[in-house]
């Protein structure tokens, strides 16, 4: 254990018409530093996760964090980006700075402002996280990319629409208790399973309820070395972490295996000396329900082609043997790209310190996080445990 989370903040996710990238960053940064019981001047380094890709006219955003307090002026500040895993890329970079003894206290902020962008532009911006040479003309944008993946999965393993609907229903049901979630409504299995005017097909076998939400929001956390963390009011340590990057073109790999996801889980669990059975819960990247289904298999919960068992037999429900996405996941919480990975770490820290309120997993001791960029291209896993 080289680093721990000692404070955090999370704005509501959703359509925040009055907010800007700057206002979201400033709010989250201020609140996280205050929550850690530290002064802004104590911060050694700042890492901002911000995807952008055209959503914000303001680029070069790392220094916006300094707007939170004049005492942050002249601190090292860097913006990182790794598609939809941008937030975890920022967190992991902060942990590495502490592990290298180059910083003792690191402020990590993740942000995205998406909803002010017109619909067609949103699709084009998100599609930039695919391999444009092969997928640049995909109808329905990134939903179309995952629609192709779902089609291929169904062709190989049979129609799993029941499982996808059950995943959507689970995550929406969980999200009701999450005060930060964009959609706090239990839609029910029947609504998620049935095509309707309110739930039309979007791409391939994926309906609207199979797709995560376009969102605005920010999350932030404060990292310290373990020695410093032991003197704070609360501390959640990184038992291990792993980052695996795969080929961008889907044509160069078996897209149904999510091999980068599998390797990241193997590496992180191996370094921690743990197995999947040791985890109390997992927050995983359900940008689309087919992604969560394949991630069950990649993390080793089921063999390939049998991910449907995990959801249909209740394994991943809140009272199952491995609750997955107790927060409601991206499906319910929303997916402001640069904020998502930071949000996952914040909500996991809340779980492990017993501060998750209505989404609390009983007796949570070890939490796993999987955040990915693109179609299992950038793969980040963190294994977390409370120190106090």
Splitting the chain (388 residues) into consecutive groups of 10 residues, what average pLDDT does each group show?
96 98 98 98 98 96 98 98 98 98 98 96 94 94 96 98 98 98 98 98 98 98 98 97 98 97 98 98 98 98 98 98 98 98 98 98 98 98 96
> What's this model's pTM, rounded to 2 decimal places?
0.98
What's phi and psi for 214, nearest 5 deg?
-70, 135
Strand 76-80 with 45-50, pairing: parallel
CATH class of 4-117+214-229: alpha beta
Structure tokens at 138: 């995909």
Cα 200 to the chain's mean position, in Å? 25
What's phi and psi for 218, nearest 5 deg?
-145, 155
So what's the pLDDT on residue 388?
81
Strand 236-245 with 201-203, pairing: unpaired
Is the CB of residue 133 less than 8 Å from the CB of residue 72? no
Q: Which residues contact 200 (CB under 8 A, 6 or more apart)?
A: 207, 208
Alpha-carbon gap, residue 25 to 89, rounded angstroms: 17
So what's the pLDDT on residue 182?
98
- Other C-beta atoms closer than 10 Å to the C-beta of 276 total 14
Q: Which of 10, 50, 84, 287 is catalytic?
A: 84
Quick one: residue 317, left, alpha or beta (phi over 0 = left, psi -120 to 50 = alpha)? beta
Q: Which of 92, 243, 335, 345 is catalytic?
A: 335
192 catalytic per annotation: no
Alpha-carbon gap, residue 96 to 47, rounded angstroms: 11
287 catalytic per annotation: no
So what's the pLDDT on residue 254?
97
């Amino acid at each position: 254990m080289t680093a721990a989370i000692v404070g955090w903040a999370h704005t509501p996710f959703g359509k925040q018409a009055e907010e800007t990238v700057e206002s979201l960053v400033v709010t989250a940064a201020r609140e996280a530093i205050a929550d850690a019981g530290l002064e802004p001047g104590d911060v050694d380094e700042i890492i901002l996760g911000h995807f952008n890709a055209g959503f914000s006219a303001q680029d070069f955003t790392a220094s916006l964090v300094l707007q939170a307090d004049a005492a942050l002026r002249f601190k090292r500040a860097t913006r990182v980006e790794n598609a939809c895993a941008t937030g975890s890329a920022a967190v992991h970079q902060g942990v590495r700075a502490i592990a290298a003894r180059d910083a003792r206290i690191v402020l990590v902020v993740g942000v995205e402002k998406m909803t002010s962008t017109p619909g067609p532009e949103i699709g084009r911006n998100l599609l930039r996280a695919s391999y444009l040479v092969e997928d640049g003309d995909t109808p329905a944008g990134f939903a179309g990319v995952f629609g192709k993946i779902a089609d291929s999965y169904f062709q190989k393993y049979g129609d799993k629409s029941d499982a996808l609907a059950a995943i959507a229903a689970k995550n929406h049901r969980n999200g009701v208790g999450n005060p930060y979630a964009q959609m706090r409504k239990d839609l029910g299995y029947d609504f998620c399973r049935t095509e309707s005017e309110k739930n039309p097909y979007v791409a391939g076998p994926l309906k609207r309820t199979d797709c995560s939400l376009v969102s605005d929001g920010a999350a932030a956390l404060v990292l310290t070395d373990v020695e410093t963390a032991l003197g704070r009011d609360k501390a959640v340590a990184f038992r291990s972490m792993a980052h695996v990057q795969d080929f961008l073109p889907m044509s160069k790999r078996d897209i149904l295996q999510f091999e980068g996801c599998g390797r990241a889980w193997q590496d992180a669990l191996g370094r921690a000396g743990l197995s999947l059975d040791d985890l109390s819960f997992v927050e995983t990247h359900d940008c689309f329900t087919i992604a969560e289904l394949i991630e069950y298999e990649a993390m080793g919960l089921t063999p390939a082609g049998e991910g449907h068992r995990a959801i249909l037999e209740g394994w991943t429900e809140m009272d199952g043997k491995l609750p997955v996405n107790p927060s409601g996941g991206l499906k319910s919480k929303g997916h402001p790209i640069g904020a998502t990975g930071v949000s996952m770490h914040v909500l996991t820290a809340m779980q492990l310190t017993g501060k998750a309120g209505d989404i609390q997993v009983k007796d949570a001791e070890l939490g796993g996080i999987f955040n990915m960029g693109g179609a299992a291209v950038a793969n980040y896993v963190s294994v977390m445990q409370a120190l106090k």
